Amino acid sequence: MTKTRKRPDKQPFLSLIFEKSTYSLPLISLLVVITFANIIQNEFTGDDVAYVRDNEYVKSVKYLLEIFTRPYPPMLPELGLYRPIVELTYMIDYALGIRHSEFESLGFKPEIDTTPFQVTDILIHLLVCIAVYFIALQIFPENKLIAFLSSAIFAVHPVHTEDVSSIVGRAETLSTLFCLLSFYLVTRSSLDESYFSPKRLLSYLFFLLALLSKETAITLPVIILIYIPLFRREELQRLTTSLNSFVFLLLYILPYIAVFMVYMVARINVVGTIGIPESSTYFAAYPNLPRVASMLIVFLAYFKLMIFPDVLHIDYNFPLPIFDGVRIPAPTGILAPLPLFGLFMLLLWVGGGVYLFVKRNKLAFLLLWFPVTLFPVSNIIPFGDIMAERFLYLPSAGFCILIGWVFSRFILLHSAHSPHLSRQTQIALVVFVIVMLAMMYRSIKRNLDWRDNITLWKSVERIDPENYNVNHALGHSYLVLRQRHLEQGNALLALGRTSEAQQHLRLAEKYEQIAIKYFYKSIEKHPEYLESYYNLALLLMYAKKPNFDEALRLVQYLLDHTFPDDWRDAAHFNFTMASVYFGMKKYDKAIEYYLRAIRFDPNRMDYYNNIASAYAMSGNFKMAEKYWRYVLAREPFNKTATKRIKQLEALKRLYGTNIPPTAKFPFSLTPPQLDK
pLDDT digits (tens, 9 = 90+) for 376-406: 888 877 777 889 999 999 999 999 999 999 9
- State residue 99 phi and psi, 5-degree precision: -130, 130
613-622 tens-digit pLDDT = 999 888 898 9
Which helix (H) or strand (E) segment holds residue 600: the answer is helix 587-600
Count of residues making up the chain: 676
The answer to whether residue 12 scores a pLDDT higher than 60 is no
User: Mean of the pLDDT values across residues 292-300?
Assistant: 92
Q: How far apart, in whole angstroms, are the C-alpha atoms of residue 59 and residue 92? A: 9
Residue 392 and residue 305 in contact, taking contact as beta carbons nearer than 8 Å: yes
| Residue 229: inside a domain | no
What's the domain range around 616?
A: 585-676
Distances (CA, A) of 416 to 10, 133, 180: 9, 21, 30
Count CA atoms within 13 Å of residue 224 on its CB side: 33
Judge whether 634 lies within some domain.
Answer: yes
Report the mean per-residue pLDDT for the chain. 88
Could you tell me the pLDDT band of residue 273, with boundaries at 50, 70 and 90? confident
At position 625, the amino acid (one-letter code) is: E
- Banded pLDDT at 669 (limits 50, 70, 90): low
Residue 665 within any structural domain of the chain: yes
Weakest mean pLDDT among 14-18, 492-496, 591-595: 14-18
**pLDDT score for 23:** 81
Q: What is the CATH number of the domain that holds 622?
A: 1.25.40.10
Identify the band that residue 330 occupies on the pLDDT scale cut at 50, 70 and 90: confident
Residue 441: other Cβ atoms inside 10 A: 13
Distance CA 230, CA 227 (A): 5
How far the first Cα of the chain sits from its last, in Å, is 96
pLDDT beyond 80 at 240: no
pLDDT at 676: 45
What local confidence, expressed as pLDDT, does residue 6 receive?
Answer: 44
Which of 177, 179, 203, 180 lies closest to 190 in space, CA to CA? 203
Structural domain includes residue 616? yes
Spell out the residues 6+ positions from residue 235 whose beta carbon is closer than 8 angstroms to its own.
Answer: 190, 191, 192
Does 73 sit behind a cis peptide bond, omega within 30 degrees of 0 on the bond before it?
yes
The pLDDT value given to residue 548: 92
What is the pTM (predicted TM-score) of this model?
Answer: 0.88
Q: What is the pLDDT of residues 18-43, one digit of tens each?
A: 566 678 899 999 999 999 999 998 99
Q: Of the candidates 471, 307, 477, 467, which has an alpha carbon nearest to the alpha carbon of residue 392? A: 307
Residue 643 covered by a domain:
yes
How large is the average pLDDT for residues 351-375? Answer: 94
pLDDT digits 0-9 by tens, 557-572: 999 988 767 888 889 8
Residue 1 has pLDDT above 50, yes or no: no
DSSP assignments along 177-210, one per residue: HHHHHHHHHHHHS-TTS-TTSHHHHHHHHHHHHH
When pLDDT is cut at 50, 70 and 90, the band that residue 99 belongs to is confident
Residue 607: count of CB within 10 angstroms of its CB: 26
Question: Is 461 among the domain residues?
Answer: no
pLDDT in tens, 423-451: 787 888 899 999 999 999 999 999 999 99
Q: Which pLDDT band holds residue 185 (cuts at 50, 70, 90)? A: very high
Would 49 be classed as within a structural domain? no
Closest CA to 162 of 591, 521, 456, 589: 456
Mean pLDDT on 150-175? 96
The count of structural domains within the chain is 1
Tell me the CB-side half-sphere exposure of residue 43, using CA atoms within 13 A.
14
Please state whether beta strands 98-99 and 320-323 pair in parallel, antiparallel, or not at all (unpaired): unpaired
pLDDT confidence bin for 11, thresholds 50/70/90: very low
Tell me if 266 is assigned to some domain.
Answer: no
CA pair distance 609, 631, nearest whole angstrom = 7
Pairing verdict, β 98-99 and 111-112: antiparallel
**SS3 at position 523:** helix
Partners of residue 112 on adjacent β-strands: 98
Asked whether residue 281 carries a pLDDT value surpassing 90, the answer given is no
